[in-house]
Amino acid sequence: MEYVYAAMLLHSAEKDIDDKAVTAVLKAAGVDADKGRVSALVSSLGEVDIGEAMATAVAAPVAAAPAASGGGGSSAPAAEEAPAAEEPEEDDGAGFEGLGSLFG
């Protein structure tokens, strides 16, 4: 994934996506870049409109969300429903114990 991220970073910075630039980004991130993988990525992106691909990839999950929500017979769109008010959690001063669940 880091190879793709390097290409996306270069695209966002409006830089050329070539072997040298991708390798430099990977090395700056502490990744030991494989020349073959870098070359394969660069050549495969040569014909791709990265901006369009990123927009399509971001829009796809949003478009699929209503279909996945189930349809319990209601004709009202889910966006019109008011979100439930959340009660603030008490801070016991213990710190970040909730983050522990993220790491197993």
pTM of the shown model: 0.54
More confident residue, 91 or 20: 20
Averaged pLDDT for residues 72-79: 53
What is the per-residue pLDDT for 58? 73
Q: Give the pLDDT confidence of 1-52 residue by residue, as tens digits.
A: 899 999 989 999 999 999 999 999 999 999 999 999 999 999 988 888 888 8
Amino acid identity, residue 26? L
CATH number of the domain located at residue range(s) 2-66 in this protein: 1.10.10.1410
Q: How far is CA 71 from CA 46, 60, 65, 78, in A?
A: 42, 19, 11, 10
8 Å CB contact between 32 and 3 = no
pLDDT of residue 95: 52
> Is there a contact between 22 and 38 (Cβ–Cβ < 8 Å)?
yes
Contacts of 16 (CB under 8 A, 6+ apart): 10
Q: Which residue has the tokens 């050549």?
A: 43
